[in-house]
Amino acid sequence: MKILVINAGSSSLKYQLINMVDESVVLKGVCERITFTGGKLTQKTFDGKELVIEQDMPSHKEAMELVLKAMLDTEKGALKSVDEIGAVGHRVLHSAEDFHSSVVIDDEVIAICEKNAELGPLHMPGNIACIKSCREVMKGVPMVAVFDTTFHSTMPKKAFMYGIPYDVYEQYKIRKYGFHGTSHKFVSEETAKLLGNKNARMIICHLGNGSSISAVKDGKCQDTSMGFTPLEGLVMGTRSGDIDPAAVDYLRVKLGLKPEEVVNYLNKKCGMLGVSGTSSDMRDLTAAMEAGDEKAKLAIEMVAYRVKKYVGSYIAVLGGVDAIVFTGGIGEHSPLIRRLVMENMEYCGAEFDEEKNLSYDSGVADLGKDGSKVRILVLPTNEELSIARETKTLVGSK
């Protein structure tokens, strides 16, 4: 069975075709500048063949038609017929409180997603437009919506509620939802397999340009750092993370911003970029710090401190921890951040081995010292495979 995994934005569409017999990637590609002039599709197959098509895509329908054309290309594609695609898994940002797991897409599911679009105005319209276009272009192929938020739907009310009037929560559904759910689900499941313990207490640190942490016990999310939107929580590439709401309004007045502008400011111009004044990329900041840049050093220290603080609080939530796991671009590739986060964590049984940390290159690794009670893991995430697995579970084999 081959499953097509689609991750659509407002003007882009990433896709992977995965053979579920051995979970190998057959091909992957991206459509850029959908709805704009200068559209471009770039596709690579597992055996290294690359296809580039420069063509305008006025809507997601034209983008999907181009994706099918690319996959069926006789020289640089990998399919002989669309019938080889057993199902399509769509990454969808927000489930609100309507879905607590992935679902097979029908008209009712689309209507509910449209109702919830206001909770994710930057991503949901593109997600929905692509689903509709895909159903039109690939009639009869079963499709599944895999939400970024559903893994966190197991949080208890005491964890996801804000300190606002209960009737306001009930009416407007203002609460913590959490994001990066496909990554947290994949990494937590793989960690449980590695530990041989599906009931393990683990803290998943998904660290990248956007970062989040989850506390997982018995395979279920107990708490997570992102909130009503992805802005809450850690200091990220360009996001501020946790900040006093009163400071937000004070900031708005002082900078002369409109309410919608201040949210954009906190999302796009703060975080590592704002503190350092130079970059949102951890690689750039590490190089700048090593060259003596104090603001870059401060930005890095703030990132690590916030991660450490969340890890410590989640150890308390879980009543201890069996594994602390690093994933994502920074989690997998920044030995500096891993070291700063794990410094002085021996109190909880986590003994960090700096030699293993520095020598880590790729794949799954345990960075704990021999005899460490807590496993300290680096485990690459695979959100596309997580979506494909969910899709296969719901639609069965073909």
Residues identified as active-site? 148
SS3 98: coil
DSSP label of 69: H
SS3 262: helix
> Rounded CA gap, 165 and 297, in Å?
41
**Distance, CA of 76 to chain centre:** 30
> Rounded CA gap, 150 and 166, in Å?
22
> Rounded CA gap, 217 and 318, in Å?
7
> Rounded CA gap, 46 and 24, in Å?
9
> Rounded CA gap, 49 and 379, in Å?
28
Phi, then psi, of 274 in degrees rounded to 5: -65, -45
E strands, 47-98, are 50-54, 85-92
Structure tokens at 335: 């030995």
CB neighbourhood size of 361 (10 A): 7
> Rounded CA gap, 53 and 40, in Å?
6
Confirm if 326 and 332 have CB atoms less than 8 A apart: yes
Plot region of 143 (φ>0 → left; ψ -120 to 50 → alpha; else → beta): beta
